[in-house]
Protein backbone atom coordinates (compact mmCIF):
# COMPACT_ATOMS: atom_id res chain seq x y z
CA UNK A 1 0.00 0.00 0.00
CA UNK A 2 1.38 3.40 -0.94
CA UNK A 3 2.09 6.02 1.71
CA UNK A 4 -0.59 8.39 0.29
CA UNK A 5 -3.26 5.64 0.37
CA UNK A 6 -2.28 4.81 3.94
CA UNK A 7 -2.63 8.48 4.95
CA UNK A 8 -6.02 8.76 3.23
CA UNK A 9 -7.15 5.53 4.90
CA UNK A 10 -6.02 6.69 8.33
CA UNK A 11 -7.71 10.09 7.79
CA UNK A 12 -10.98 8.40 6.84
CA UNK A 13 -10.80 6.12 9.89
CA UNK A 14 -10.07 9.07 12.19
CA UNK A 15 -13.02 11.03 10.77
CA UNK A 16 -15.30 8.00 11.13
CA UNK A 17 -14.24 7.47 14.75
CA UNK A 18 -14.73 11.18 15.43
CA UNK A 19 -18.20 11.11 13.91
CA UNK A 20 -19.15 8.00 15.87
CA UNK A 21 -17.93 9.51 19.13
CA UNK A 22 -19.75 12.76 18.48
CA UNK A 23 -22.88 10.81 17.54
CA UNK A 24 -22.72 8.96 20.87
CA UNK A 25 -22.52 12.29 22.70
CA UNK A 26 -25.27 13.83 20.60
CA UNK A 27 -27.97 12.27 22.77
CA UNK A 28 -26.76 14.28 25.75
CA UNK A 29 -26.54 17.49 23.73
CA UNK A 30 -30.10 17.00 22.46
CA UNK A 31 -31.42 16.78 26.02
CA UNK A 32 -30.16 20.21 26.98
CA UNK A 33 -29.03 21.57 23.62
CA UNK A 34 -25.94 23.64 23.05
CA UNK A 35 -25.98 26.76 25.19
CA UNK A 36 -23.45 28.90 23.31
CA UNK A 37 -23.76 30.50 19.90
CA UNK A 38 -21.24 30.26 17.04
CA UNK A 39 -19.41 33.47 17.97
CA UNK A 40 -19.17 32.58 21.67
CA UNK A 41 -17.68 29.19 20.81
CA UNK A 42 -15.17 30.78 18.39
CA UNK A 43 -14.12 33.36 21.00
CA UNK A 44 -13.65 30.79 23.75
CA UNK A 45 -11.72 28.34 21.58
CA UNK A 46 -8.76 30.70 21.38
CA UNK A 47 -7.73 29.54 17.89
CA UNK A 48 -10.13 31.81 15.99
CA UNK A 49 -8.95 35.28 17.10
CA UNK A 50 -8.50 36.50 13.52
CA UNK A 51 -11.89 35.15 12.48
CA UNK A 52 -13.59 36.88 15.43
CA UNK A 53 -11.79 40.15 14.64
CA UNK A 54 -12.97 39.86 11.04
CA UNK A 55 -16.56 39.20 12.16
CA UNK A 56 -16.39 42.27 14.36
CA UNK A 57 -14.94 44.43 11.56
CA UNK A 58 -17.82 43.46 9.25
CA UNK A 59 -20.66 43.65 11.79
CA UNK A 60 -21.39 39.93 11.34
CA UNK A 61 -21.15 39.14 15.05
CA UNK A 62 -24.87 39.83 15.58
CA UNK A 63 -25.85 37.64 12.63
CA UNK A 64 -23.71 34.69 13.72
CA UNK A 65 -24.70 35.12 17.35
CA UNK A 66 -28.15 33.90 16.41
CA UNK A 67 -30.06 37.03 17.27
CA UNK A 68 -33.17 36.00 15.34
CA UNK A 69 -31.16 34.38 12.54
CA UNK A 70 -29.84 30.98 11.61
CA UNK A 71 -29.13 28.17 11.88
CA UNK A 72 -25.83 28.38 10.05
CA UNK A 73 -23.00 26.04 9.19
CA UNK A 74 -19.66 27.84 9.46
CA UNK A 75 -16.46 26.52 7.93
CA UNK A 76 -14.18 28.30 10.39
CA UNK A 77 -10.56 28.98 9.42
CA UNK A 78 -8.14 28.94 12.33
CA UNK A 79 -5.60 31.65 13.07
CA UNK A 80 -3.03 29.38 11.39
CA UNK A 81 -5.20 29.35 8.25
CA UNK A 82 -5.26 33.15 8.18
CA UNK A 83 -1.48 33.18 8.70
CA UNK A 84 -1.06 31.27 5.41
CA UNK A 85 -2.36 34.29 3.47
CA UNK A 86 0.27 36.55 1.91
CA UNK A 87 1.78 39.11 4.30
CA UNK A 88 -0.44 42.14 4.79
CA UNK A 89 -3.60 40.48 3.42
CA UNK A 90 -5.45 40.26 6.74
CA UNK A 91 -4.60 43.84 7.63
CA UNK A 92 -5.75 45.08 4.21
CA UNK A 93 -9.00 43.12 4.47
CA UNK A 94 -9.72 44.51 7.93
CA UNK A 95 -9.54 47.98 6.32
CA UNK A 96 -11.93 46.89 3.53
CA UNK A 97 -15.06 45.56 5.31
CA UNK A 98 -17.11 44.95 2.10
CA UNK A 99 -14.38 42.70 0.61
CA UNK A 100 -13.84 40.98 3.95
CA UNK A 101 -17.58 40.40 4.40
CA UNK A 102 -17.76 38.75 0.97
CA UNK A 103 -14.97 36.37 2.01
CA UNK A 104 -16.51 35.62 5.41
CA UNK A 105 -19.95 34.90 3.95
CA UNK A 106 -18.27 32.41 1.61
CA UNK A 107 -17.54 30.37 4.75
CA UNK A 108 -21.21 30.29 5.83
CA UNK A 109 -23.99 27.97 4.64
CA UNK A 110 -27.61 28.58 5.62
CA UNK A 111 -28.86 25.63 7.68
CA UNK A 112 -27.23 23.23 10.05
CA UNK A 113 -25.13 20.64 8.19
CA UNK A 114 -23.39 18.01 10.28
CA UNK A 115 -20.32 16.24 8.87
CA UNK A 116 -22.38 13.39 7.43
CA UNK A 117 -24.55 15.92 5.56
CA UNK A 118 -21.50 17.84 4.31
CA UNK A 119 -19.67 14.71 3.16
CA UNK A 120 -22.85 13.42 1.50
CA UNK A 121 -22.90 16.52 -0.73
CA UNK A 122 -20.81 17.51 -3.72
CA UNK A 123 -21.49 21.23 -3.37
CA UNK A 124 -22.92 23.52 -0.69
CA UNK A 125 -24.44 26.94 -1.44
CA UNK A 126 -22.91 29.70 0.66
CA UNK A 127 -24.61 32.79 2.01
CA UNK A 128 -22.58 34.95 -0.41
CA UNK A 129 -24.27 33.23 -3.37
CA UNK A 130 -21.40 31.02 -4.50
CA UNK A 131 -20.95 27.31 -3.81
CA UNK A 132 -18.29 25.29 -2.04
CA UNK A 133 -17.05 22.06 -3.61
CA UNK A 134 -17.04 19.12 -1.20
CA UNK A 135 -14.56 16.29 -1.67
CA UNK A 136 -13.38 13.26 0.27
CA UNK A 137 -10.45 12.52 -2.04
CA UNK A 138 -7.31 12.79 0.09
CA UNK A 139 -9.41 13.45 3.18
CA UNK A 140 -12.53 15.58 3.75
CA UNK A 141 -12.31 19.02 2.11
CA UNK A 142 -14.28 22.05 1.09
CA UNK A 143 -12.64 23.52 -2.00
CA UNK A 144 -8.92 23.01 -1.27
CA UNK A 145 -9.24 23.37 2.49
CA UNK A 146 -9.01 20.32 4.73
CA UNK A 147 -11.77 19.91 7.29
CA UNK A 148 -9.81 19.25 10.47
CA UNK A 149 -12.59 19.09 13.05
CA UNK A 150 -16.32 18.60 12.64
CA UNK A 151 -19.69 18.95 14.31
CA UNK A 152 -18.95 21.59 16.92
CA UNK A 153 -22.55 22.28 17.80
CA UNK A 154 -23.77 25.71 18.71
CA UNK A 155 -27.15 27.02 19.76
CA UNK A 156 -27.59 28.50 16.28
CA UNK A 157 -25.83 25.98 14.06
CA UNK A 158 -22.63 24.03 13.67
CA UNK A 159 -18.94 24.76 13.12
CA UNK A 160 -16.48 22.74 11.05
CA UNK A 161 -12.84 23.78 11.40
CA UNK A 162 -10.79 24.23 8.22
CA UNK A 163 -7.08 24.78 7.64
CA UNK A 164 -7.21 27.34 4.81
CA UNK A 165 -9.16 30.56 4.27
CA UNK A 166 -11.65 30.10 1.44
CA UNK A 167 -11.47 32.83 -1.21
CA UNK A 168 -14.54 33.28 -3.41
CA UNK A 169 -14.22 33.79 -7.12
CA UNK A 170 -14.92 37.43 -7.96
Which one is the CATH code of 3-162: 2.40.50.140, 2.30.180.10, 2.60.370.10, 3.40.1410.10? 2.30.180.10
Task: Please tell me the pTM assigned to this model.
Answer: 0.80
Cα-based distances in Å from 152 to 12, 34, 81, 135: 18, 10, 18, 20
Q: What b/e string do you get for 21-51 counting C-beta neighbours within 10 Å, with b at 16 or more?
A: ebeeeeeeeeeeebebbbbbbbbebeebebb
- Residues 27-62: pLDDT tens digits? 444 556 778 999 999 999 999 999 999 999 999 999
Please list the pLDDT of the chain residue by residue as tens digits (170 residues).
433 333 333 334 344 334 444 444 444 445 567 789 999 999 999 999 999 999 999 999 999 997 678 899 999 999 999 999 999 999 999 999 999 999 999 999 999 999 999 999 999 999 999 999 999 999 999 999 999 999 999 999 999 999 999 999 87
Amino acid sequence: MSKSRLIVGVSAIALTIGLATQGANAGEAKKTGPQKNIVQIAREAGSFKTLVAALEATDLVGTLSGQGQGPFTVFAPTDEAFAKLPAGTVEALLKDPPALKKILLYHVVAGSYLAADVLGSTTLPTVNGQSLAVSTSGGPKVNDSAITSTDIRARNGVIHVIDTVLIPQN
